[in-house]
Amino acid sequence: SVMDLAKVVMAHLCLEKSDIYELIEHKGKFPQTIPSIFLPTTHGTASEVTMWGVVWNINEKRKYSISHPDLYPGIAILDGNLTLSLPLDISIITVMDALSHSFESIWNKNANDTSTDFAVSAICSILKNGEALKKNTSDLLIRNNLLKASTVAGLAFSNTTTAAAHSMSYPLTIHYGIPHGVAASISLLPLLEMNGEFIKEPLDRICKNNELTYDELKQTIKAIPQGVIPCTLDEWGIPENQLLKLAEESFTKGRMDNNIVDLTTDDVLVILKEIYREQ
């Protein structure tokens, strides 16, 4: 996002270096800091409350992250008016990214009570407002609710970082150009099944707060992108014979190993096959 790029610029200004790899690798204290005000124009990345910025090198087919405590924004301003001009597809893509951030911080070995509370709050709001957005994209209350949910999800995963869904998303984006919010959420339902028994308490809270059964929860998640963005790998043009390669490339250190269940390449391949085409 533009906010992620802003963090690279902040690092450049603070360190007075221009080599982006040096900026990414720098872990020492910044000799100076600069004031920053972040205003998100989507309800997805939550970069306004995290210290991370994503940098893609398309030539290398590799995703990098710049990360430093001095890159936390000084001020975040949330104004749903800034999201009103978002096309519906980008709106839903960013909503699904926020939903993924939330679930990823729950089924996470680094989860704590605070991060889980933030995540449950964000998920409940997204479930209530995601489908409503499709019916009225100009509703400022819905936009503000989703913007707040995205930020709260950011507060959740800033405690934990992300996990399997994001780790699996990177090769999907780098090789096939699948937008990040889609790539990071397309595996949510299979991962919910695999991780579900280890996160029963927060799942029960989500279902109770939204008056849903577990099956209705899954249907509500599935319904948000339906009719707006493709929800299977086949629809995104991925050859079926590439699934094993994608599974093997899905293990990003510091992401996949956060998942509350330790997944193998075979586990990931099962997930990719499940989301390859409509079941």
* Strand, coil or helix: 63: strand
- Positive or negative, the CA dihedral 168, 169, 170, 176 is positive
Q: Mean pLDDT across the stretch 136-140?
A: 97
Given this model, what pLDDT does residue 42 score? 96
Write down the architecture of domain 2-76 according to CATH. 3-Layer(aba) Sandwich (3.40)
Q: How far apart are CA 85 and CA 278, in angstroms?
A: 31
**What integer pLDDT is reported at residue 46 of this predicted model?**
95
Mean pLDDT of the region 210-237: 97
Q: What is the pLDDT of residues 45-98, one digit of tens each?
A: 999 999 999 898 888 878 888 999 999 999 999 999 999 999 999 999 999 999
Residues 135 and 141: beta-carbon distance below 8 Å: no
User: Among all chains, which residue has been given the structure tokens 């699934």?
Assistant: 243
Determine the pLDDT at residue 58. Answer: 80
User: Do 172 and 247 meet the contact criterion of CB atoms below 8 Å apart?
Assistant: no
Domain definitions of the chain by residue range: 2-76, 87-274
> What's phi and psi for 224, nearest 5 deg?
-60, -50
pLDDT tens-digit readout, 243-267: 999 999 999 999 999 999 999 999 9
> Would you identify the CATH topology of the domain 87-274?
Dehydroquinate synthase-like, alpha domain (1.20.1090)
Given a cut of 80, whether residue 132 has pLDDT beyond it is: yes
Predicted local distance difference test score (pLDDT) of residue 59: 84
Task: Give the pLDDT score at 140.
Answer: 98
Which pLDDT score is estimated for 152? 98
Q: How far apart are CA 30 and CA 26, in angstroms?
A: 9
Is 187 in contact with 165 (CB distance < 8 Å)?
A: yes
Residues forming a β-bridge with 54: 65
- What gap in Å lies between CA 170 and CA 65, rounded to an integer? 12
Among the residue ranges 57-71, 99-113, 133-147, 234-248, the one predicted with the least confidence is 57-71
Neighbour-count burial of 18, counting CB atoms closer than 10 A to its CB (0-12 exposed, 13-18 middle, 19+ buried): exposed
- The listed range with the strongest mean pLDDT (24-33, 57-66, 99-108) is 99-108
Instruction: Provide mean pLDDT across the span 194-205.
Output: 98
> pLDDT, tens digit, for every residue of 219-231?
999 999 999 999 9
Using alpha carbons, select from 43, 40, 33 the residue that is nearest to residue 71: 33
